[in-house]
Amino acid sequence: MEESTRRLRTLDFFMGIGFAVIGLYVAVDGFRAFISPDLSTVERPSNPGVTTMFIGGMLALLGLIIAIIGFRGSRTPFRKATEVIRETLRKRTFLKGLIALACIAVYFFVFWGRIPYVISTFIFLAGIMFIFKAGAWWKIFIISGVTVAIVWYVFGVLAMVPLP
Amino acid sequence: MSFEQILMEVLKTLNLEFIVLIASGTLIGLIVGALPGLTTTMGIALLTGITFKFSGHAAIALLMGLYVGGVSGGSLSAIMIGIPGTPANAASILDGFPLALAGKGAKAITVSRSASVLGTLFGIMCLAFFTPILSNLALKFTSAEFCLLGLFGVLISGTMTGADLAMKGWIAGIFGLTIAMIGIDELTAWHRLTFDSPELTGGLPFIPIMIGFFGIPQVVESLSAEQEVLVAALDKSKTRLMEVLRHWKVALRAGLIGVGIGIIPGIGEDVAAWVSYGVAKKASKHPEEYGKGSIEGLVAAETADNSCIGGAIIPLLSLGIPGSPPAAVLLGAFMIHGVRPGPMLSFEFPAFLYQSVAWLLVATLFMRFMALGLARPMQKILTIKNAILMPIVAVLCAIGAFSLDIRYIDIILVFFSGVLGILFRKGKYPPAPLVLGIILGPLVDTNFRRALKASNGDFSIFVTRPVSLVLLLSIVLLILGQLGAFAAIKSRLTRTKQST
């Protein structure tokens, strides 16, 4: 089996377990609704737990199958995962992706609602463009400024969205 | 409603305001489609946030323009830089880019444009003809059929769109159905999977999930990749429509494949283009020219992905089941604007189908003339660095989701859907079944329970009606086929034959 396929199967093993756990939780939530005394007046076929039990059960089963396929394909999923994680952490593309995601997280969770929209968006745009070397500083400032002005005008003025 | 009344309703939505909106939608679509990383699905999701204050029909007309423009816009970058603007145009690279490198870029663009026009027109024709038929048929459907149709859609989409194992497509679809279960149950007002959070009681809104799921992974991926773009020079050569019509057999076959694949829930333009390209190559007298700049190959790919637009809207309008991922987001936009597609649509909005046909026709017209004019400016736009474009996309993702309901939770949802999207990409889980699962969740859920209630909990309701029996058998065969049951039976039969 090719190395890339083994790596994919390792990920399949962990994602399969994840899906199986989620499916199990959904099925249990459905079962709780199915036996809940609060829903005793509702006819059994109309019980909201019926579909969730069915869907959760299917997700758990398929997740388990994928995990088994992953385990068989990867052979040593835990050792392989450690190896892949170590390698990935050293990759330039991964670090760049992580920085991009972190910038977005800061903009969404720290800036949003705490700093006025126009200022926070300008800081985010200029900052991320600086980090990813989009061009000369004055170009970045102009592009960020013009973008913020357009977004503010289209959403804040034309669409009358109360910007944070 | 009489023919005159329908005509009046159609004309009412073809005034200057609508024409300008459709033209703007098509132009935005062409640009969004042409920029690698910005897909038609993402464009529709983002623009839905902007258009939520428009009148319902005006917003839908704009989004339909974007759909038409987006699918054909992707071919511009496929031809000029060898990177498909949208997955729908990936097959166009094989012959479009070699043509451009050989100094026939303008010819490739005009061929692709003419093929797009032919394909879209064919799709629209099928839309106008088949939607009323399917709507009338759907009126006879009961809850059992609707439930199985929804499940079939999710599973077939999972089977056809998976790049790795078909089972991953099924998981994606069922995970989408699970997401759709979150919130208060429509029939009993019971809180499902809400973790007692008041924000989750209304369920998870579809558009912010779509924006995050498609937008954030693209931003992260594009910013982390090293960018090197080679833009092919454009010549002055052009191709007349008649030259494309010389390949009418290829175009007709591609149109039929596109519409056929479009009608199947959740599969979409990319599969249509690849299938059509493969079939055309097999049927061609000169298969050796394919991949080296064959006009036939380009016609096959471009006609199929564009005819798929009409095909994907057929089940959307008649059954409320989208035929492709962009059509699924379009369905979300329809609902936001008070239009609920399905068999009852022809009673609630009798002229809507014909209005849609008219909007799509106008968009096709604009697409025809805008595309070549846009080719030269696009040469510059395509060289824009990802480091400039992608942060702007991230800002649009946030404000697009926020503007729908002015809720901070939607921003959080965009982020976590984005993380989920990244995981799905890494694990090679196709996105289309997830989209379809979320959109079809309520249909599957309510109809499953209604069917069981009508039969007093007897599951035989799913096999006693002919349509539901056919659908159930299709689902079973689909699953068995993917699990290798048929291959095992075949090998056993061969062994038995050999031993006797």
The pLDDT tens digits of the residues spanning B20-44 come to 999 999 999 998 888 876 788 888 8
CB < 8 Å to B411, chain A: 108, 112
Distance CA A53, CA B100 (A): 55
Residue in A12, A51, A101, A132 to test binding to B, most B beta-carbons within 10 Å: A51
Task: Compute the average pLDDT of residues B130-140.
Answer: 88
Q: Same structural domain for residues A119 and A144?
A: yes
Residue A58 lies in a domain: yes
Across chain B, mean pLDDT equals 86
Residue range A61-82, pLDDT digits in tens = 999 999 999 999 888 888 888 8
| Residues A140 and A108 grouped into a single domain | yes
Torsion of CA B169, A15, A30, B415, to 10 degrees: -90
Question: Is residue A163 a part of any domain in this protein?
Answer: no
Q: Is the dihedral of CA A63, A69, A73, A79 positive or negative?
A: positive
Q: Do A21 and A70 share a domain, yes or no? A: yes
Q: Do A79 and A103 sit in the same domain of this protein?
A: no
For residues B49 and B455, the model is more confident at B455
Token pair listed for B56 = 């319902």
**A4 in contact with chain B, both atoms CB, cutoff 8 A:** no
Per-window interface: B 130-169 vs A, CB < 8 A: 164-165, 167-168
Domain identity same for A50 and A101: no
Tell whether B492 is covered by a domain. no
Instruction: Please report which confidence band the pLDDT of residue B239 belongs to, taking 50, 70 and 90 as the band edges.
Output: low
Kindly state whether B476 is in contact with chain A, defined as any CB-CB distance less than 8 angstroms: no
The whole-number average pLDDT for the span B385-410 is 87
- % residues pLDDT > 90 (chain A): 58
Is the pLDDT at B289 greater than 90? The verdict is no
- Closest to A53 in 3D by CA, of A27, A25, A32: A27
Chain-chain contact of B453 with A48 (C-beta, under 8 angstroms) = no
Nearest to A62 among B171, B391, B399 (CB): B171
Domain extent, residue B147, equals 3-464
Residues A55 and A121 in one domain: no
pLDDT one-digit tens code per residue, A106-131: 999 999 889 999 999 999 999 999 99
Confidence of residue B230 (pLDDT cuts 50, 70, 90): low
Interface contact flag, A155 B448, Cβ < 8 Å: no
Label residue B227 by pLDDT band (50, 70, 90).
low
How many structural domains is chain B composed of?
Answer: 1
Q: What percent of chain B has pLDDT over 70?
A: 95
Is pLDDT of B373 > 80?
A: no
Partners of B415 on chain A (C-beta within 8 Å) are 104-105, 108-109
Report whether pLDDT(B489) > 80.
Answer: no
Do residues B87 and B40 lie in contact, with contact meaning Cβ atoms separated by under 8 Å? no
The domain tally of chain A equals 2
Alpha carbon distance, N-terminus to C-terminus of chain A: 53
Q: What are phi and psi of A161, to 5 degrees?
A: -85, 125
Is the complex ipTM more than 0.90? yes
pLDDT of res. B478: 82
B224 in a domain, yes or no? yes
Q: Does B483 touch chain A (CB under 8 A)?
A: no
Give the best-scoring range by mean pLDDT among A23-37, A74-88, B91-105, B283-297.
Answer: A23-37
Domain match, A117 and A137 both: yes
Enclosing domain of residue A124? 91-158
Q: What is the pLDDT, as a whole number, of residue B460?
A: 87
Could you report the per-residue pLDDT of B107-132, keeping only the tens digit for each? Answer: 888 888 889 999 999 999 999 999 99
The secondary element (H helix, E strand) that includes residue B404 is: helix B386-405
A81 and A57 fall within a common domain:
yes
The one-letter amino acid at B496: T
Q: Is residue A8 part of a domain?
A: yes
A14 and A81 belong to one structural domain:
yes
Res B237: pLDDT:
65
**Domain endpoint, select from A35, A65, A89:** A89
B-chain CB neighbours of A19 within 8 Å are 171, 175
**pLDDT-derived band of residue B103, with 50, 70 and 90 as boundaries?**
confident
A82 and A20 in a single domain? The answer is: yes
Instruction: With beta carbons under 8 A apart, name residues in chain B contacting A29.
Output: 192-193
Q: Given pLDDT bands bounded at 50, 70 and 90, which one contains residue B166?
A: confident
A32 to chain B: closest CA residue: B192
What is the spatial distance between Cα B369 and Cα B376, in angstroms, rounded to a whole number?
13
Per CB-CB distance under 8 Å, the chain A contacts of B387 are 128-129, 132-135
Grade residue A139 by pLDDT with cuts at 50, 70 and 90: very high
User: Per the domain annotation, does B127 fall within a domain?
Assistant: yes
Q: What is the bridge-based pairing of β-strands B191-192 and B183-184? A: antiparallel
